[in-house]
Amino acid sequence: LFLLLLLLLHPPPSLHPLLLSSQRHYPAAWGHYDVCKSQVYTDEGLTWDYMACQPEAADMTQYLKVTLDPPNITCGDPPETYCALENPYMCNNECDASTEELAHPPELMFDIEGRNPTTFWQSTSWKKYPKALLVNITLSWNKTIELTDDIILTFESGRPEQMVLEKSLDYGRTWQPYQFYATDCLDAFTMEPKTVQDLTQHTLLDIICTEEYSRGYVWKYDKTVRFEIKDRFALFAGPRLHNMASLYGQLDTTKNLRDFFTITDLRVRLLRPATGATMVDENNLSRYFYAISDIKVQGRCKCNLHANSCVFDKEKLSCECEHNTTGPDCGRCKRNYQGRAWSAGSYLPIPKGTANICEYTHMHCECFGHSNRCSYIELLNTVICVSCKHNTRGQHCQLCKLGYYRNASAELDDENVCIDCNCNPFGSVSDRCNGTGFCKCKEGTTGPKCRECLPGYLWDNGCKSRVCDNELLRCQNGGVCLNNLRCECPRAYTGLLCEKPRCESELGGCGGADSGQAPLSPPSSPRLLLLLLLGSALLRQASYWPTML
Ligand SMILES: *[C@@H]1O[C@H](CO)[C@@H](O)[C@H](O)[C@H]1NC(C)=O
Ligand SMILES: *[C@@H]1O[C@H](CO)[C@@H](O)[C@H](O)[C@H]1NC(C)=O
Ligand SMILES: *[C@@H]1O[C@H](CO)[C@@H](O)[C@H](O)[C@H]1NC(C)=O
Ligand SMILES: *[C@@H]1O[C@H](CO)[C@@H](O)[C@H](O)[C@H]1NC(C)=O
Ligand SMILES: *[C@@H]1O[C@H](CO)[C@@H](O)[C@H](O)[C@H]1NC(C)=O
Ligand SMILES: *[C@@H]1O[C@H](CO)[C@@H](O)[C@H](O)[C@H]1NC(C)=O
Ligand SMILES: *[C@@H]1O[C@H](CO)[C@@H](O)[C@H](O)[C@H]1NC(C)=O
Ligand SMILES: [Ca+2]
């Protein structure tokens, strides 16, 4: 408000005096990216000016779902009494899931802290020592989030001696470590101990193991474990982040860097509780457990610089997309705004960035006048004409439908651009033709439309090969050739060329010598019987041969 007042009193020369949309101006040189569009007067009149925009950073723990693994690792069922790590005689920490005041459910890691006593989640104790006490705490947003500040875990117990912070960018399908934590990095993870101060611009994406947050009894005075986002930002933006422009410039051009700070889920893997740097007292395992009073995750919805607000509705975060984009992350162009490929907004040039808005599709619905309707095919990211008329087809109605060919003397937008192939249905293989209207003909057929017969063929619903010819006298026994297609035979003959005598009873049968057909007799001849007997005897003998060998 103070800045706004200042601006009103002394409008800087760079600000257009007629800037209309003025919820907030840019107070600093690098910009906040909090406005997606504003109305401005130009020489052509009132128009919109579009800018890259992003939601404000917020406390993201209000919108998450927490899952514990194993699920029954929370204390209190059955009730348990815990002793202090530093004093085994101080046993006044009671946990009972059935009593509200003594229960320690996971929600207490995300409530508003600041009142006394603190509220915290607590695990069961290390009853199964020396078997490891393993707990996964998974935080899921079901939305991509960009981290803007350190992740801070505040322990109520001693800080764990071994722990890993992991992240997922794909809704929990795959996980990558963010940072390892141990009292002894070499021993626990065979990694050299490092701190965030050892990182440079070139090694910023390295995953390190740190001993900063788990040394000895230090937990008594500092109970927090951090993942240092700001120290990493500072490698580009300078100490106290005074040069955010430099950081935004880097984020814009380096996808790996952007992805490093982007998450959909976080996982805290607790691998070994605090033991006070002494031997584990096996007689009193009630001293060893995990308890966390608070987890801080500051960030903003990732909206690809196309939204300046993010809403939590029906248990789900989603960007309120501008620039005619849509999707939970504004990662697509809206229907009918697919005029060009979607693209994320850009932080550059500072301070307004580039909006990269989605453009109206209509201007790109080019169908040569054969349709005035287009449809966007998301899978191919293209616009195609629908219901092409005048026998056309194709993305722009620029092709002829099957069964039609291109009229060479007509322009693409001519109603007569496609001509029916008109292939003869009997003479052609299909109703399609080539680019000059020629159909594909069946055997014996020819002509552009397959309406004519080749020599030696005759038309009869298609071209049939010539069967007979009166000049060549191919029909026998006095048959007469009809239309070169078939022989008409005298009554006593049949067959294609009247070559077979007909065997009808009223003609006295076909018993003549020239019929070549002897009446069939049963196989009763003694010679045949002998042959059959001999054959079966030989077969039987054959079956003995193998044993005889
Ligand atoms: C949790 O449940 C599993 C299987 O149901 C059981 O084996 C295990 O002992 C339980 N753990 C605790 C701490 O109650
Ligand atoms: C742990 O030691 C304290 C003090 O000796 C005792 O009161 C408590 O019962 C012990 N707990 C267990 C589980 O032995
Ligand atoms: C915890 O998560 C890791 C992977 O992130 C998995 O391997 C492990 O089985 C999970 N459960 C426990 C109890 O550690
Ligand atoms: C995550 O969000 C999508 C919509 O974007 C929804 O369909 C899905 O059910 C959600 N998953 C969970 C686990 O809430
Ligand atoms: C998006 O489309 C609407 C019409 O649906 C239009 O009024 C608006 O100006 C468009 N916005 C941008 C950023 O192009
Ligand atoms: C080809 O197009 C021209 C020009 O429109 C037209 O005059 C002609 O009739 C068309 N040819 C056919 C076969 O349709
Ligand atoms: C179509 O087929 C005819 C006959 O085979 C041929 O002469 C002509 O060049 C072909 N036209 C095209 C465009 O292929
Ligand atoms: Ca709390």
**pLDDT digits 0-9 by tens, 316-328:** 999 999 999 999 9
Separation of CA 104 and ligand 3 centre (Å) = 22
Decide if pLDDT at 474 tops 60: yes
Which candidate, 42, 43, 66, 39, places its Cα nearest to that of 51?
39
Decide if pLDDT at 189 tops 90: yes
| Mean pLDDT for the stretch of residues 150-155 | 96
Mutate to test the pocket of ligand 1, among 72, 126, 136 (most ligand atoms within 8 A of CB): 72
Q: Looking at per-residue confidence, does 269 or 241 come out higher?
A: 269
Nearest ligand to the CA atom of 140: 4
C-alpha torsion angle, residues 522, 525, 528, 532 (rounded to 10): 80
**How much of the chain exceeds pLDDT 70, in percent?**
83
Decide if pLDDT at 190 tops 50: yes
Is the Cβ atom of 357 under 6 angstroms away from ligand 5? Answer: yes
Is the Cβ atom of 131 under 6 angstroms away from ligand 1? Answer: no
Q: Exposure pattern of 336-349 as b/e (b: 16+ CB <10 Å)?
A: bbbbeebbbbbbbe
- pLDDT of the residue at 509: 54
Which range, 34-43, 46-55, 261-270, has the best average confidence (pLDDT)?
261-270
Separation of CA 145 and ligand 3 centre (Å) = 23
CB-based contact 46:90 (threshold 8 Å) = no
- pLDDT of the residue at 372: 79
| Poorest-pLDDT segment among 308-322, 389-403, 510-524 | 510-524
- pLDDT of the residue at 339: 73
- pLDDT of the residue at 401: 94
d(CA 535, CA 541): 10
d(CA 252, CA 231): 19
What lies within 8 Å, CB to CB, of 391 at 6+ separation is 400, 401, 404, 418, 420
**Closest-lying ligand 7 atom to the alpha carbon of residue 437:** 1
- Say how many CA atoms lie within 13 Å of 150 toward its Cβ: 13
Reported CATH class of domain 63-88+105-301 = mainly beta
- pLDDT of the residue at 484: 77
| Poorest-pLDDT segment among 21-35, 103-117, 310-324 | 21-35
Q: Which fold has domain 428-465?
A: Laminin (2.10.25)
Domain ranges in the chain?
63-88+105-301, 374-420, 428-465
| Residue owning the nearest CA to atom 10 of ligand 3 | 136
Nearest ligand to the CA atom of 126: 1
Ligand 6 binding site (Cβ under 6 Å of any ligand atom): 407, 409-410, 414, 416, 419
Decide if pLDDT at 538 tops 50: no
Q: Exposure pattern of 167-206 as b/e (b: 16+ CB <10 Å)?
A: bbbeeeeebeebbbbbbebeebbeeebbebeebeeeebee
Is the Cβ atom of 438 under 6 angstroms away from ligand 7? Answer: yes
- pLDDT of the residue at 529: 41
- pLDDT of the residue at 507: 53
**Closest-lying ligand 1 atom to the alpha carbon of residue 77:** 14
Is the Cβ atom of 123 under 6 angstroms away from ligand 1? Answer: no
- pLDDT of the residue at 537: 43
| Mean pLDDT for the stretch of residues 451-458 | 87
**Closest-lying ligand 4 atom to the alpha carbon of residue 318:** 5
Q: Which residue do the tokens 């509780």 mark?
A: 273
d(CA 332, CA 358): 9
- pLDDT of the residue at 4: 36
- pLDDT of the residue at 216: 55
Decide if pLDDT at 349 tops 60: yes
Report residue 428 as tokens. 């052609």
| Poorest-pLDDT segment among 169-173, 309-313, 476-480 | 476-480
DSSP secondary structure string for all residues of 94-135 = EE-TTSGGG---GGGGSS---SSS---EEB---TTTTS---E
Mean pLDDT in the chain? 84
CA 153 to chain centre: 34
- pLDDT of the residue at 13: 36
- pLDDT of the residue at 22: 32
- pLDDT of the residue at 393: 94
DSSP secondary structure string for all residues of 211-245 = -TT--GGGGGT--EEEE-HHHHHHHHH-GGG--HH
CB-based contact 335:375 (threshold 8 Å) = no
- Say how many CA atoms lie within 13 Å of 20 toward its Cβ: 11
Q: Which residue do the tokens 């100490």 mark?
A: 239
CB-based contact 347:52 (threshold 8 Å) = yes
d(CA 66, CA 140): 6
- pLDDT of the residue at 505: 57
- pLDDT of the residue at 508: 54
3-state helix, strand, coil in the chain (%, to 5): 15, 30, 55
Decide if pLDDT at 307 tops 70: yes
**Closest-lying ligand 6 atom to the alpha carbon of residue 414:** 5
| Mean pLDDT for the stretch of residues 37-65 | 90
Mutate to test the pocket of ligand 7, among 399, 406, 438, 441 (most ligand atoms within 8 A of CB): 438
| Mean pLDDT for the stretch of residues 507-518 | 46
d(CA 440, CA 417): 22
- pLDDT of the residue at 23: 34
Decide if pLDDT at 524 tops 50: no
**Closest-lying ligand 1 atom to the alpha carbon of residue 124:** 13
Cis check for the bond before 351: say yes or no (omega within 30 of 0): yes
- pLDDT of the residue at 457: 84
Q: For residue 2, what is the enclosing H or E element? A: helix 2-9
Decide if pLDDT at 516 tops 60: no
Decide if pLDDT at 362 tops 60: no
Is the Cβ atom of 189 under 6 angstroms away from ligand 7? Answer: no
| Residue owning the nearest CA to atom 8 of ligand 5 | 324
Query: Phi then psi for 392, rounded to 5 degrees?
Result: -105, 170
d(CA 282, CA 288): 10
Crossing angle for the helix pair 229-237 and 244-253, nearest 10 degrees? 100
